[in-house]
Structure 1
Amino acid sequence: MTKRFHKGDKVRWNSHGGQAEGEVLKEITSDTEAGGRTVRASKDEPQYLVRSDRSGGEAVHKPDALEKL
């Protein structure tokens, strides 16, 4: 079963500089442009747009890459 997150959830993920923490901005459930790249997503395989607390940068991650805090 795919992990689900909601807007406003605090999450942690691995980044180039180690661990990053931030907030889920939205769930992506269709193919779109987000976080500077083309995102392939569906209702069965969503991805999440997140914002880093430290840098303020936005990125898109698959649910398995995120850990809810």
Structure 2
Amino acid sequence: MGWSGLMKSPKRGDTVQWDTSQGTTTGKVERKLTTPAKIKGHAVAASKDNPEYLVLSDKTGAHAAHKAEALTKTRGK
């Protein structure tokens, strides 16, 4: 279950998990994206009304952008 309803939005430094085609992975939120961006050549249609969150994967060291609903806060290491 991700962020929704009364839950607070992800913030910088939060340890989060999300689903990938290879299974669940974890990482840290680096920043909130509120303007369109490109991550690894992928267009991210972020806006102030529809933000996405830049996360750094613990497993691969790669960056990805996810909506808050796709992220679940976990306990830090």
Instruction: Please report the TM-score for the alignment, with normalisation by the length of structure 1.
Output: 0.87
Larger Rg: 1 or 2? 2
Query: Unaligned stretches of 5+ in structure 2?
Result: none
Letter in 1 for 2:13: G
Q: CA RMSD in A?
A: 1.6
Q: Select 2:14's aligned residue among 6, 9, 16.
A: 9
* Higher percent of residues as strand: 1
1:48 corresponds to 2:30? no
Letter in 2 for 1:61: H
Moved over 4 A (4+): none
Query: Unaligned stretches of 5+ in structure 1?
Result: none
Give the total of aligned pairs.
69
Instruction: Please report the TM-score for the alignment, with normalisation by the length of structure 2.
Output: 0.79
